[in-house]
Copies of this chain bind each other. A is one copy, B any other.
Amino acid sequence: MTFEKRLEARAAEIEAGLAEVLAGAASAGAGLPPRLANAMHHAVMGGGKRIRPFLVIETAAALGAEVAAAQPAAIALELVHCYSLVHDDLPSMDNDELRRGKPTVWKAYDEWTAILAGDALLTLAFEHLGEASCPGLDDRQRLALMTGLALASGGRGMVGGQCIDLEADKLRQPKTPTKDHIRRLQAMKTGALFRFACEAGPVVARANAEETAAMARFGAKLGEAFQLADDLLDIDGDAETVGKATSKDAAAGKATLVGLEGIAAARAHLAEIEREALGEIEKFDARADLLRETLRFACARRK
């Protein structure tokens, strides 16, 4: 099976898992209001490569865990990612009307519904990690996953990165962002969830601290590569291939490493991150082959 096929197959499994979790929350008697259930469904279903949950499952599998035991963390992480997109798209933030070729949640419903749907998806991630039926996970593991997900998602992780990004964007603070500033921003905004994705697998597989830390560092590097490739795509791609308006970053005056370094230097930088990431998983030998392919895919992707 090619890498792309394997990614697609996992995405289909994740999509089915997400549908089941949403249906459970929305089932008769559960109390989720239909408007909220529909907005959450709109936000979550039918789109994306599902690369974060893919990483949860594949790092767990690489270290010998059952796929089923990795499923709750994979689903919870994707719920958090989807919530972040719903809030990022809001008029007061990125003001995006399209996402994956569909109207964004606030555009399809309204702002208050989008804010509440995001809030409910974030909370559902923790509900699911806490109560999903999964004999392969004990209390200690669930607790580690919930705490790790919270730390990666919150003000010291993803939300903090979004704040720094919008400070640059809306308030022009700092006036001239340095490379370090942008790298920190991206490490928080994108890197923290990728890091958690690759840390959750080892937690599920009951790996030792050293292996867990190596996978986490690999995840952080992969996130960095993914973001840099995304910034390069924004310049290289055309709207049809990328599925969203390109060069929007440049038009918005958004600070990116590509803008600061130029395309050639950014490409060299990306190659360097790729090498560093490979170094982190060297010790896993053939078990990490699929992760190497994921890294190659993230660095070389054209959409």
Whether B163 contacts A113 by the Cβ 8 Å rule is yes
Residues from 131 to 154 in A contacting B, C-beta threshold 8 Å: 131, 139-140, 142-143, 146-147, 149-151, 153-154
Q: Does A120 contact B (CB under 8 A)?
A: yes
Partner-binding segment picked from A85-93, A202-210, A244-252: A85-93
With A and B bound together, what is the CA distance between A188 and B118 in angstroms? 18
**Distance (whole angstroms) from the CB of A195 to the closest CB of chain B:** 13
Q: Does A33 contact B (CB under 8 A)?
A: yes
Residues from 64 to 99 in A contacting B, C-beta threshold 8 Å: 87, 90, 92-93
Give chain B residues whose Cβ lies under 8 Å from the Cβ of A164.
33
Whether A32 contacts B131 by the Cβ 8 Å rule is no
Q: Does A294 contact B (CB under 8 A)?
A: no
Residues from 141 to 178 in A contacting B, C-beta threshold 8 Å: 142-143, 146-147, 149-151, 153-157, 159-160, 162-164, 166-167, 170
Q: Does A30 contact B (CB under 8 A)?
A: yes
Chain A at the B interface: SS class? helix
Whether B167 contacts A154 by the Cβ 8 Å rule is no
Number of copies: 2
Given contacts A92-B115, A112-B93, A139-B139, contact A150 B127 (CB under 8 A): yes
- Which residue on B lies nearest to A123, using beta carbons? B154
Query: Out of B30, B127, B142, B157, which one reaches A143, CB within 8 Å?
Result: B142
* Residue among A146, A155, A166 having the largest count of chain B Cβ atoms under 10 Å: A155
* Residue among A123, A163, A167 having the largest count of chain B Cβ atoms under 10 Å: A123
Q: Does A110 contact B (CB under 8 A)?
A: yes
Q: Does A214 contact B (CB under 8 A)?
A: no
Given contacts A92-B110, A92-B112, contact A32 B143 (CB under 8 A): no
Whether A139 contacts B143 by the Cβ 8 Å rule is yes
Given contacts A123-B150, A139-B140, A151-B127, contact A156 B87 (CB under 8 A): no
Give chain B residues whose Cβ lies under 8 Å from the Cβ of A33.
155, 160, 163-164, 167
Give chain B residues whose Cβ lies under 8 Å from the Cβ of A118.
119
Partner-binding segment picked from A34-42, A226-234, A235-243, A255-263: A34-42
Contact with B along A267-281 (1 / 0, CB 8 A): 000000000000000
**Distance (whole angstroms) from the CB of A238 to the closest CB of chain B:** 29
Give chain B residues whose Cβ lies under 8 Å from the Cβ of A123.
122, 150, 153-155, 159
Whether B126 contacts A150 by the Cβ 8 Å rule is yes
Give chain B residues whose Cβ lies under 8 Å from the Cβ of A119.
87, 118-119, 122, 154, 159
The 8 closest A-B pairs by CB, nearest first: A130-B147, A123-B154, A120-B155, A92-B111, A126-B150, A127-B150, A31-B156, A139-B139
